Amino acid sequence: MKLLWVKAGGLLPPDTGGKIRSFNILKQLAHKHDITLFTFYPEHPHDLHPAGSDMFSELICVPLPLPPRRSLAEYARYARMLMAGRPFTIDKYFYPEVRRRYAALLQSSEFDLIVCDFLVPAPLIDWKTPPPKILFTHNVEAEVWARHYKFASNPLVKLACWLESRALQRAERRYVQLADYVLTVSENNRASFAPYVDPRRISVIPTGVDTEYFQPGVLSGPVPEQPDTMVFTGSMDWMPNEDGVAYFVAKILPLIRAQIPEAVFWAVGRQPPRRLQALASDSVVVTGAVEDIRPYLAKAALCVVPLRSGSGTRIKIFEAMAMGKAVVSTSLGAEGLPVRHGENIILAADPADFARQVVDLLRDPARRQRLGHAARQLVEESYGWPAVGAYFEGIIESCTSGPVGKL
């Protein structure tokens, strides 16, 4: 089958949750299908896309001269789009070159199915003509911004979050109605879209993890666990991760260090903004981009996920669990994952509870080990990427075998 996969933001390297999920599903689908990837993204040095990948029969890349993040030029574009009621998350990518290259691809090739990966590429696609089209949503994008609005303190940031959330809500409602099939990554996300979608054409795809790449003892040479250490992994340029790290350092870490003065927190991930870089101290390590997060997971006593905003599911939790690590998370951080408090994860309600749970685990290596073992068992038995890829393939077959009703 010939598939066209359309993705904004690029795919290589797979260094964010969405890229990791898409990359691994595509890797599974490529065993049986002929895949063309059309992707557009901010131009950057050392771009890996031009080298291609043997997963794809064709790889079409459109690097774009987007203004630098958090620059005056970006803020100016942001303001213009939001005041016009347009979602900046989507419209910032739509340069004429993107539309021209996409139109040329469709004129020169025919496909059996098109996958719109995330909401962002949706305006590029003609949803009312063949072939069938799947909208693969990794989040409820409007929910991400609405949740950040709740915690933002700056009035201008709150206004921007509110406007972006409203604009994205309109876009999401429009495109889930137009799609032939909608995939979400959690039951919560499915429920958000359910009022607008025929139940026959929406379902949840499980979150996966590479249980061979992430596993205890996988690294060459011993990596001893360091007492009283905590790690958070993720792209630091994603707003919910940035907020989560700042929240942990301000509200939770001081409560932990009041009882364990030697406690150290590692924030591991690419492109930390100045706000997070300024947090670095004897007790806070902000690494920036690293080649491999596994050494940090291996040597940390436990993994913390102090998220207050976001949507979808967090692959970072499954990666830590696959490494056999105990995880302490907010309920929202673990939202949508098939985890059980006290059995394979610890869920905390507020800063005091979060700090208490962390302190208890740091002081109890045997309990950390039991939690880590149960966590590894959960993901190893049911959530490897081959199973997720097989599920996705079943959706493709259902979409191409006959018409699916729309509201």
Residues 77-91 have pLDDT tens digits of: 888 888 888 999 999
pTM over 0.85: yes
Architecture (CATH level 2) of domain 2-206+385-401 = 3-Layer(aba) Sandwich (3.40)
At 219, the pLDDT band (50, 70, 90 cuts) reads: confident
Tell me how far apart the alpha carbons of residues 57 and 75 are, in angstroms, rounded to a whole number: 38
Among the listed residues 225, 226, 265, the one whose alpha carbon sits nearest the alpha carbon of residue 247: 265
Tokens of 95: 């340069």
Is the model more confident about 318 or about 223?
318
Tell me how far apart the alpha carbons of residues 76 and 159 are, in angstroms, rounded to a whole number: 15
CA angle at residue 23 from 86 to 326, to 5 degrees? 100
pLDDT of residue 405: 46
Domain map (residue ranges) of the chain? 2-206+385-401, 229-382
> Where are the extended beta strands (E) located within 223-360?
229-233, 264-268, 284-288, 302-305, 327-330, 346-348
Segment 155-176 mean pLDDT:
95
DSSP state letters, 5-74:
EEEES--SS--SHHHHHHHHHHHHHTTTSEEEEEEEEE--TT-SGGG--TT-SEEEEEEE-PPPTTSHHH
Residue count (the chain)? 407
Tokens of 92: 């910032």
Q: Give residue-wise pLDDT tens across range 17-66.
A: 999 999 999 999 999 999 999 999 999 999 999 887 789 999 999 999 99
Segment 294-305 mean pLDDT:
96
pLDDT of residue 370: 97
Tell me how far apart the alpha carbons of residues 185 and 84 are, in angstroms, rounded to a whole number: 31
Name the CATH code of domain 229-382 (choices 2.60.120.10, 3.40.50.10800, 3.60.20.10, 3.40.50.2000).
3.40.50.2000
